[in-house]
Chain A
């Protein structure tokens, strides 16, 4: 059997397949469909300092080979995560990684430091790329100085593996990746959704209540793959790739482009049992190509 284990700084993943934030709930929603402990990791929903209701309905528009969402970080807040959700998931044998979001640097720092104290959580993903909130989110991730400022501040408060999730809505994503690497990030994950919109021509109105939203699904995959390749060439820290992965071949493409691991997002909505199929598919691929270690795929291109 080939080795599937990969490392993101101190985080040892049993395989490179993880689920993307906002696409897999807290994992519990998928337990009827498969044993979620088979996953390399689970990135849970974007978590903020206090409870958020998110944006008004409609928050979703189906688009060719993808979808737009404008959920806007609806979540119960970090304290509710720690008191209600963490006790339920902490003993599941996979890595739970909280996606940390906020409107201000102080909010990011508060959430990160609270999560730092949780024994069973060994990493966070800093979300400086949410396109669906008025303050913070993507605003931090689209300029180098603010990305550096938030990453440095969180780095001081968080002592375990710090992953920074990058926005594709920039001119030069490699520059952003280098900036957060310099500010202390242990890894980068990309891409968050691409800013887009959809219009109902019969009603002559935007479909989303927020007019614009984040595009995900296979429609964004070529863009995501190109960005992962550019970033992997630029930085020394591990890259976690995502954007429209629907099957094992897609996941392998990201690894060949330079990703150490991947996140599966929108595909979970169409097939809630897709992740174990992707894991098995990667293993089959390695056997078929007589490759003993999945790490040999990383950055071949």
Chain B
């Protein structure tokens, strides 16, 4: 079992991408524990009246040399709004690293698909796969150009395709409508995806039709994040399982009703 920590991390940078999105760059005072792609943190939001629980956020990137990690965050409510106002030099309390990880297999032809801020965990995954010599293709979808985040970062690790609903960038439509799926050269062996549940369910259907694997990263509401409260469960072939400990990443066939 890997060691989980509760720790105050220094905010090295709060990179504001837009009104809706920001990236927190955080530094640990001690060497980072081993962090796997797909894992997440539980972050405390201080002085936010209606934010009682920590917020689960997926880990966007990790740098063991500087003991830093990045969290890509979308402003969704009062808690994330408050976090977006974090200043360099402040400290944030994290419980981490939590959850399982995406599977990384040699000889995989990996298609990484993120919807909006759902691409967050896929950067660290792409880098991990690159380090292992696994070829990566990334498909990013969003409502509009402003929802396509940090595409250049992903280009470092593989080819990047984009869809936007309003056609402001890349192909028009949803990620599932991208031409890549109908290309005769489609030879991916596994989809790794994170984003809105309807998107992931649609991708799971495509994976089923094509007879390939598809790992989905769920974003269930959580209280504890460590398997104690049993609030974040998802229905699986083996009954209700905690998304925080047995997930957040699941092979879709293991989930009931997918």
Binding site for B on A (CB under 8 A): 22-25, 29-30, 32-33, 45, 53-54, 56-67, 69, 71, 74, 217, 266, 268-273
Contacts and interface: CB of A to CB of B under 8 A. Distances in A.
Contacts of B5: 32-33
Contact of A54 (B50, B225, B233): B233
Given A32-B1, A69-B231, 18 more contacts: A22-B229, A24-B228, A30-B228, A33-B4, A33-B6, A54-B240, A56-B235, A57-B240, A60-B222, A62-B52, A62-B221, A66-B52, A69-B229, A71-B229, A269-B54, A269-B223, A270-B52, A272-B95
Contact of B231 (A25, A59, A272): A59
A241 to B, nearest CB: 21
B23 interface: no
Given A54-B230, A74-B233, A67 B50 contact: no
11 contacts: A25-B226, A25-B227, A54-B233, A57-B240, A59-B233, A62-B51, A67-B53, A71-B229, A268-B224, A269-B53, A270-B53
A23 B233 CA distance: 15
B230 A64 contact: no
Contacts, number: 89
Contacts of B231: 59-60, 69, 71
B240 A53 contact: yes
Given A32-B4, A57-B220, A64-B52, A23 B228 contact: yes
A273 B228 contact: no
B65 interface: no
Which of B6, B221, B228 is most buried by chain A, counting CB atoms within 10 A of its CB? B228
Nearest to B33: A32
Contact of B230 (A33, A59, A61): A59
Given A59-B233, A65-B52, A217-B52, A268 B228 contact: yes
Interface in B111-153: none
A81 to B, nearest CB: 15
A25 B3 CA distance: 17
Interface string B216-254: 000011111111111111110001100000000000000
Contacts of B95: 272
A58 B230 CA distance: 11
Q: Across chains A and B, which 8 residue pairs bring their CB atoms closest together, nearest first?
A: A60-B231, A269-B224, A25-B228, A32-B4, A269-B223, A29-B228, A71-B230, A29-B227
A272 B226 contact: yes
B77 to A, nearest CB: 9
Contacts of A269: 53-54, 223-225, 228-229
B54 A273 contact: no
A162 B226 CA distance: 30
Contacts of A54: 230, 233, 240
